[in-house]
Structures are given as C-alpha cells and as structure tokens.
Chain A
Amino acid sequence: MGELWQGIIRALELIVTFDPEVMAITFRSLGISTSACLIATLICLPLGSLIHFTNFKGKNLLVSLIQTFYSLPTVLVGLLVFILFSRAGPFGNLNLMFTPALMIIGQSLLVMPLMLGLIISALVSLDKTVADTAFSLGASRFQAGLLSLKEARYAVITSVIMGFGRAISEVGLAMMVGGNIRGFTRILTTAISLETSKGDIELSLALGFILLLISLAINVILSQLQRVEKSAAR
C-alpha cells in the first residue's frame, strides 16, 4: 500500500513538473491517435453515407459484419498490419515497420469498423424525411448525404470520439507494429506496459493518470454533446 501511495505522489510530481519524457510520450500518443481518427473519419463519413443511401444486395449482412468488427481484438489487427507491412509482406518495400506512420495506419484500421457502424446508425436513426425533403427540393445524392450528416452531427461527432477512445487506449497493435521504441514509437499504453514490467511503478502510474484524464475528457465531451443533442431535439 505504501508503495502505491508513494507511486501516486511521484506520479503527480511528474505530471505537475511537466516531466519531458512523460510529456513527449503523451503528445506522441495524442498525435498518433488523433491522426488515425482523422484518417478514419475522412474515409468513414463518405463511406457510411454511401452505404446508407445505396440499396444493394447484402447490405444488411455488410452492416452486421461491420458491427461484428466493433470488438475486433487489437492484436489481430496488429497481426494483419504486421503481415502486410513486414519485409516479406506486400507493402514491405515501404519500410514502415516500427514507425509512427504504421501505428497510425493500424489504429485507423482498428477504429474504422466502430466509426463506420456508428455513422451508419446515426444516419439510420435520423428522420427519413430529412433525406426525402432534400431529394424533393432538388438535392443531388452528395448534397442530401452532406445535409443528413450535418443534421446527425452530434451522433457523428460521438462516433468519432468513440473511435478516438478506442485508438488511444489500445496496446496490442501499437506494441506489435510500433515496437515501443523509446523517443520514437513509445506511447502511453506501451510505456505503461513496459515500465510496469521493469518495476517503475511511479512512471507507470503517472502515465496511467494521464490516460485516465484523457478518458475523462472524452466522457465529459460525450455527455456535453448528448446534452446539446437533447436540447436541440426539444
């Protein structure tokens, strides 16, 4: 218990003194996960609209498949990315293995099913009259899609934040394709894992607190958004 208490005090010290290593790891984590989310959002917004507004055979099966991938194990995505980008893999010549760029690619792939599924759900739950009204007033499919996304913006933003939450908290993929290289690919989760195994509880706790603070911030933003959405619906 004493060790834990000491750990907490040391952790707070590391945070309030802006310890360079802790800050570097934190900003690297935020940078990688934000970039991954941005890429996933840019892909999922048009793709989600396309799937929602197009009627095709197997659409329900595809949506079910996307929803199944919500809880895709991070190590499985890590393994897939590893096979694709390792020296012997089809993208091996890009030399991206153990780089932040590959961690971004991996995290994008990891959060895409969740983001895509939630964007489709947001559009499904939107009153069908919105798209119909747009079409009946001369909107193209693209314009109607854009309007629908705008009308469902709170749910869409929620899906992006949920995706970010999944990206920042994953460890398996980052470890497999990032390699946890100090000062280069080490992020919050991989650092916590390593420092704990080395017995540096203080640093692990400090990084854990930061991760917890990020989760708290995500939750606060989410509940604020839900409040805004409810008041807008009134």
Chain B
Amino acid sequence: MLHVEATHLVKKAGEAVLLKGVSLRINKGESFLLIGPTGAGKTTLLRLLGLLNSSFKGELSIFGVDVISNQGKQLEIRRKMAFVQQKPVAFSCSVFDNVAYPLKWRKIPREEITDRVGEVLDLVGMKEYSNRNAKTLSGGETQRVAIARALVTRPEILLLDEPTANLDPNSAGRIEEVLTKVVQEHKTTLIMSTHDLVQAQRLAEVVGVMIDGKLVQTGTPQEVFHAPQNSQIARFIGFKLAEQDFNRIV
C-alpha cells in the first residue's frame, strides 16, 4: 500500500528554488532515508511531506488522499503522522506533560495518557526525568523527549529530520534501536534525513539522494552506495564516507 506519493514538487522561497521537481513513492512500513549535502532541500521536502508548508507546486498524496484538493482533511492526515524537527523545542512544562500534549490534543483518556507516556519515556530512556522541567534538559535529552513525543502518538508515518545529529554515539545507537523496533513492530513508515551515511545503510530499505533541490537517485542502500548513478552522487558519497572514516580515526 502506498503511503506517500509526490509528483514533481516545486518549492520556492523568494527567488531561490528549494525543490526542483521532486517525485517519490513510499510504501507502508518502508524505511526511506534521505541523504545529501547541507542545503540540498532535505528539510524542505520533509516539511512538505509533514504538511507544515502548503505553498508549493506539484501533487502530493498521503494515505491516498490528495492533500491539495482536500485541505479540510489535513488535520486528520497530520494526526496519523509525527515529525521530529532538526532542532526540537521543548515546551515550558515537565517532560511528562511535553510528551502528553499530543495525546491531550487527541482527547485520549487520562489513564491511557499516563500509561502511554510512561511506556514511551521508558523506551527512550527518559523515565527518570519525567517530572523535570523540559527547558532544563540538554540538547540530546531534548531530542529524546521530542522523539518520545512523536512516538507516543503511534504514528503511521514518522518523519525525522536528522534526529541523531545532537546525540552522543551511545544515545544515537539507542535511538536507532528504538526506531528499528517501532518500524518492525508497528509497520510504521519511516522517512528520515541523515548526514550519517553509515546510519543510512543500517536503517534504510530505500535511500534517496538529494542534491541541489533534486532527488537524483533512489534505490536500496546497495544500489545507491555501490552503483551511484552519476559522478555527483559518487563524489558526495565518496567524500562523505571518507570524512566519516577520518572522523572515526581522529
């Protein structure tokens, strides 16, 4: 079953063209990882797929619903998705209340909220921080709360914009484990951008390479990393992997 179908998406910001005709298809339960250099348009694409921006050209269907002609259904669609932004923000309340917010918005009974929030905080290793003011957390802890806040809604599509960028290797590893578990257990569709190509190989069923506002190649990690379609992609992958190897050695 097709969860996301985008055809020729074009997004402009003033004179700049951020997305230059991006088309993609993502199936239910698929892990689709976006890679590409900074400024390639990964965040812009994720924001469009997360329905955070409606001023674009092209066609976009989510869960088989054309989101342009069905503006009235956008809230219903958004409630089946969750998006963790690159620099997540903590609301000015406790960690528990932060994670409980999306459930309150959905009018879930209080007892169920308590159970689900506890369960998901345990999953991301933040249960002991439950009563702490979320504004006092470190960047990595805030990121984990943001992921918990997204997972608590049990989304059918989970969008993540470089979710492990602010985390130390241990926390990043834990988040990867959580994501893998959620995708396997709940058949969640995962759409995620990352700078970490090794992570992309570990998590992705399908990898999409974005360069200069275009989705230049999509395929399995094997196809993308071993048979890049052009020299631009090869250069990016080669340079990035060499950089990561260098960082690992240093």
Q: Contact at B52–A135, with CB atoms within 8 Å?
A: yes
Docked Cα-Cα span, A151 to B90, in Å, equals 10
Q: Contact at B82–A137, with CB atoms within 8 Å?
A: yes
Q: Which of B75, B92, B135, B146 contacts A138 (CB 8 A)?
A: B75
Cross-chain pair count, CB within 8 angstroms: 58
Near A by CB (< 8 A), chain B positions 148-175 give: 149-150, 153, 159
Q: Which of B78, B101, B106 contacts A147 (CB 8 A)?
A: B101
Q: Contact at B89–A137, with CB atoms within 8 Å?
A: no
- Total contacting residues, chain B, CB less than 8 A: 25
Interface stretch among A39-47, A125-133, A201-209, A219-227? A125-133
Q: Say yes or no: is A139 at the interface (Cβ < 8 Å to chain B).
A: yes
Q: Say yes or no: is B83 at the interface (Cβ < 8 Å to chain A).
A: yes
Q: Say yes or no: is A68 at the interface (Cβ < 8 Å to chain B).
A: no
Docked Cα-Cα span, A147 to B153, in Å, equals 18
Q: Contact at A135–B85, with CB atoms within 8 Å?
A: no
A128 → B minimal CB distance (Å): 9
Q: Which of B52, B79, B149 contacts A132 (CB 8 A)?
A: B52
Q: Contact at B78–A133, with CB atoms within 8 Å?
A: no
Docked Cα-Cα span, A135 to B83, in Å, equals 9
Q: Contact at A133–B89, with CB atoms within 8 Å?
A: yes
Chain A residue at minimal CB-CB distance from B83? A136
Q: Which of B50, B85, B105 contacts A143 (CB 8 A)?
A: B105
Docked Cα-Cα span, A147 to B100, in Å, equals 13
On chain B, the residues within 8 Å of A134 by CB distance are: 101, 105
Docked Cα-Cα span, A130 to B52, in Å, equals 12
Q: Say yes or no: is A193 at the interface (Cβ < 8 Å to chain B).
A: no
The secondary structure that dominates the A interface is helix
Docked Cα-Cα span, A199 to B159, in Å, equals 74
Q: Say yes or no: is A1 at the interface (Cβ < 8 Å to chain B).
A: no
Q: Contact at A137–B101, with CB atoms within 8 Å?
A: yes
Q: Say yes or no: is A150 at the interface (Cβ < 8 Å to chain B).
A: yes
B72 → A minimal CB distance (Å): 12
Q: Contact at B85–A132, with CB atoms within 8 Å?
A: yes
Docked Cα-Cα span, A13 to B163, in Å, equals 67
B166 → A minimal CB distance (Å): 14
13 A–B pairs (Cβ distance < 8 Å), ordered by A: A129-B85, A130-B91, A133-B146, A134-B101, A134-B105, A136-B78, A137-B82, A137-B102, A137-B149, A143-B105, A147-B91, A150-B92, A232-B92
User: Considering the complex of A and B, which 9 residue pairs feature the smallest CB-CB distances, nearest first?
Assistant: A136-B83, A138-B79, A137-B102, A129-B89, A139-B105, A143-B105, A136-B50, A138-B78, A132-B52
**Sample of 11 more A-B contacts, CB < 8 Å, known A137-B101, A138-B102, A151-B91:** A129-B88, A132-B52, A134-B105, A135-B78, A136-B83, A136-B159, A137-B149, A138-B78, A139-B105, A140-B105, A147-B101
